Amino acid sequence: MSFDNISSLSQRQLVSFGISALSKYWPNDSESVANLVIKNTIPSEIIIPVKLEPIALPQWAQCFGIEGCILVPAEVAVTSKDWKEINWWYVVYWYLNCLAERKHEQEHGPIHSFSFKLKGWDSRMWGHAWVNRIAMFLKCWLERENKNIKCHALVENLPTEIYLTHDLDAIKKTFAIRFKQTIFHGFNAVREILKGNVKASIVKLATAILFFFRREDYQNFDKLKINKKNSLITKQIVNVYAGKTGWKRTFKQMLFDPAYDISAGDTVDELRNLIKHDIEIGLHQSFDAWHEGDLLSSESEVVRKSLNQSITTCRQHWLRFSFDKTWQAQSVNGFLEDTTLGFNDRPGFRNGAAIGFNPIQNGDFNRLLPIESIPMVLMDSHLYDYQVLDDDGREKELSKWIDELEFVGGKASIIWHPHTLGRDYGWGSGFDALIKRLCRPLNKGGV
């Protein structure tokens, strides 16, 4: 795929992709939406680092924007910032398929999932589900064309679909875990002292020392058995590791991969018990499996044999990910869902969307892969390791992202690691706040 030849895309391709990907917003009106008179100019290039321009929506649709605007890539608004002059189908395609990140990867290699590597990018692109908001705007536009003045009411009851996911990174506290987390706490202590936050730095340093020496068991399976009835949770998934264990591993594998044996009898029994509580089991690939199809194949087979059932959902360990290789390898190995697309170091909408979609295959604008990508919007460590927040601050941060999901009727995943629910990490109160928030419906009226 040549990103210097983006203009080779046809408007028909863009419309077809957008209509299909956003079909939940117009289940009975796809043909009419496709016929909206939308500017069909396609930029000649994708500009990185990403710069965004706010496009003011008409007064009747400003509730779908942020401060009445939707952000679009600057190259789309070179000649005009009038909403009627914007190729909205291109903007949807650009966001959903991460065209700018794909170009960055082609030129510099994978960032995996660290936003800080995207130097100089306009981070506002990750702050809202822009694609969903565009869909709501287009639906409202159609209804205005049909003389329906109260068109905003048509999107108020869109179902929100949240996957509550748990990556099973540890069952016991190994030396590798002690070492990694202590180093991480120490790094955060240094970072806080450089910011002038002496008190926060001391807390982080004390936490590091206590973590290294304290004994803890991470068998927190029972805490995952929650009541999902009447909540926003449409699916709960525990992703399990099935790579090498013990002394068969290299030093890198000992340092970065989990250490437990998925086929051990007591572990299998716990996982089967979770299945009985309506919790799906997925694969949490090893550190190097993001680009190794054979590793992914062998690991998925271990889980299938251990649990005697098919495994169709997955998330890459450490969110190790490449647009060029990862989805392709997962698809070849029979996976139907992936929940990797998100950032390690910040919450947000990596592709400006909260929608499950079939990604394009790198190298071919016309071919969609059979796997569905469900974006990952929020992770426990975003609230504890990457930000200094108290309980109130964490609850506000939780609500901010979930409010956005509810407002747009979005589909996304959230991660909470089981090993953080005990005394060692002390993140159980945050998990309780998350469950409480997922059970509280939002009265839609904007965020």
Tokens of residue 322, six digits = 């490449």
Q: Residue 264: pLDDT band by 50, 70, 90 thresholds?
A: confident
pLDDT band at 243 (very low <50, low <70, confident <90, very high): very high
* Whole-number pLDDT of residue 366: 77
Q: Which of 17-31, 370-384, 431-445 has the lowest average pLDDT?
A: 431-445
How far, in Å, CA of 296 to CA of 248, rounded? Answer: 17
For residue 444, pLDDT beyond 60 = no
Which of 338, 412, 404, 345 has its CA nearest to residue 375?
Answer: 412
Q: What is the predicted pLDDT for the residue at 2? A: 57
Q: Give pLDDT, residue 235.
A: 97
| Interval 134-189: pLDDT, tens | 999 999 999 888 876 566 666 667 899 999 999 999 998 877 777 877 887 788 88
442: confidence class by pLDDT, cuts 50, 70, 90:
low
Spatial CA neighbour of 84 closest among 67, 61, 63: 61
Distances (CA, A) of 383 to 16, 191, 247, 280, 395: 38, 16, 34, 25, 9
d(CA 285, CA 316): 5
* Verdict on whether the full-model pTM lies above 0.85: yes
Amino acid at 32: S
CA dist 47 and 99 (Å) reads 10
Least confidently predicted of 213-227, 342-356, 410-424: 213-227
Task: Give the whole-number percent of the chain exceeding pLDDT 90.
Answer: 71
- Condensed to tens digits (0 to 9), the pLDDT of residues 127-143 reads 999 999 999 999 999 98
Strand partners, 376: 413
Q: Per-residue pLDDT tens for 94-111?
A: 999 999 999 999 999 999
The residue type of 236 is Q
The length of the chain is 447
As a whole number, mean pLDDT of residues 215-228 equals 91
Q: What is the pLDDT of residue 423?
A: 87
pLDDT digits (tens, 9 = 90+) for 272-327: 999 999 999 999 999 999 988 888 899 999 999 999 999 999 999 999 999 999 99
pLDDT value, residue 155: 66
How high is the pLDDT of residue 24? 94
Between 432 and 198, name the one with better pLDDT: 432
pLDDT tier at 268, thresholds 50, 70, 90: very high
- Range of lowest pLDDT (2-16, 103-117, 358-372): 2-16
Model pLDDT, residue 149: 58
Contact 55, 78 (CB under 8 A): no
Question: Cα Rg for the chain, rounded, in angstroms?
Answer: 22
Q: What angle in degrees, to the nearest 10, is found between the helix axes of 88-96 and 130-145?
A: 160
Instruction: State the average pLDDT over residues 81-102.
Output: 97
